Amino acid sequence: MRRKLSLDEVEELARLALTSAGASMAAAASVARSTRLAERDGIRSHGLLYVPIYAEHLECGKVAKDAAPAVSETRPGAVRVDAANGFAHAAIDAGWQAFTNAARRCGIAAMSVHNSYNCGVLGHHAERIAEAGLVGLCFTHAPASIAPTGGKQPVIGTNPFSVAVPDGDGGALLVIDQSASVVAKSEILLRSRQGEPIEPGWALDAEGNETTDAVAALAGSMLPAGGYKGFGVGLLAEILAAALSGANLSTEASPFSGTKGGPPGTGQFFVAIDPQAFGGDAFAASMTRLCASITAQDGARLPGRRRADNRRRIEEEGVGVDDALFERIEALTRK
């Protein structure tokens, strides 16, 4: 059975579950907002489904309950945040004002985050940059799950990147959000929990053979999108989000699922660009022409439109939640 929740109810349910598990009010609010946005856009794998995992990781110590992010400005356009093994969302919030102010002041700025954790839907962070009138370019990495082309041993995570462009009206004109893998690992985790097979071409088993068994895939390697080119994109994210940020490498990070290992210590790297410092007003005009060349074609759509369509529908209809998941999260709020 399924029930309907409003987005406000989704956010409040997540917040209560996280504070009950020991998260600070600020951290719980940041993660609950991320949960709301994921459900709003129809990205179930990063929505309420993840709340019990967040709570479990607070209780086992993979996420520090008392984390206090430390923000430093190491150069005029460089912001560095130590997440202190707490939630990435709270660390990103802590550095956000300094980061966006630096971008407006310098024309371009970057923010790195280390000693961090899963940051939720990366595209939402890029979109937030765009909503501030800046071009956003975001990278994050994850525990190793993709082997190099020709190899069997995972070296990098699914390592997504995201780009968002402002629309000049407080929103995002387009949002690109894609991982180095054919599909997000959370989708395979979801299929494994539901006992469903994965699609051909998504993953290899531990012996390097293609598999449609979700459990075998989790013990093996995700396949990169576009073969060696996808691995290259993931390596780019690894260089920026892990090595440059001073985080653990993907091979050194503990899993984002289960209780094995201590804090994953992963990282993020964000870049914000003020269009006025470079293309000026010509940038908006160029983007209008570029987007028109896409949308003018029958059947073509801008990146991010599917999420936008989901957003409109779910904001009106509410979020469908399995009773079992709802009851599991509600039980967390009563601890």
**Structure confidence by residue, pLDDT tens digits, 135-158:** 999 999 999 999 998 888 899 999
Q: Write down the pLDDT at residue 149.
A: 86
Given 20, 45, 59, 131, which residue is catalytic? 45
Q: Write down the pLDDT at residue 190.
A: 80
pTM value is: 0.94
Q: Which residues contact 123 (CB under 8 A, 6 or more apart)?
A: 138, 162, 164, 175, 176, 177, 304, 307
Give the C-alpha distances (Å, rounded to integers) separating 126 from 161, 171, 249. 9, 11, 23
Given 24, 30, 34, 46, which residue is catalytic? 46
CATH architecture of 1-60+304-335: Orthogonal Bundle (1.10)
Given 11, 39, 127, 187, which residue is catalytic? 187
* CATH entry 3.30.1370.60 includes domain 71-181+224-303: yes
* Cα pseudo-dihedral 186, 192, 194, 195, rounded to 10: 160
Q: Side chain identity at 74, as an amino acid letter?
A: T
For residue 2, name the pLDDT band (cuts at 50, 70, 90): confident
Mean pLDDT, residues 165-169: 95
Q: Helices 51-60 and 7-20 meet at what angle, rounded to 10?
A: 10
Q: Is the pLDDT of residue 106 over 90?
A: yes
> What does the pLDDT look like over 56-84, one tens digit per residue?
999 999 999 999 999 999 999 999 999 99
Q: Is the pLDDT of residue 163 over 80?
A: yes
Residue 45 annotated to the active site = yes
Q: Is the pLDDT of residue 8 over 90?
A: yes
Q: Which residues pair with 11 in a beta bridge?
A: none
Q: How many CB atoms are located within 10 Å of the residue 292 CB?
A: 10
Q: Helices 25-40 and 88-106 meet at what angle, rounded to 10?
A: 80
Residue 187 annotated to the active site = yes
> What does the pLDDT look like over 267-310, one tens digit per residue?
999 999 999 999 889 999 999 999 999 999 999 999 998 999 99
Domain boundaries, the chain: 1-60+304-335, 71-181+224-303
Residue 46 annotated to the active site = yes
Q: Write down the pLDDT at residue 289.
A: 97
Mean pLDDT of the chain: 95
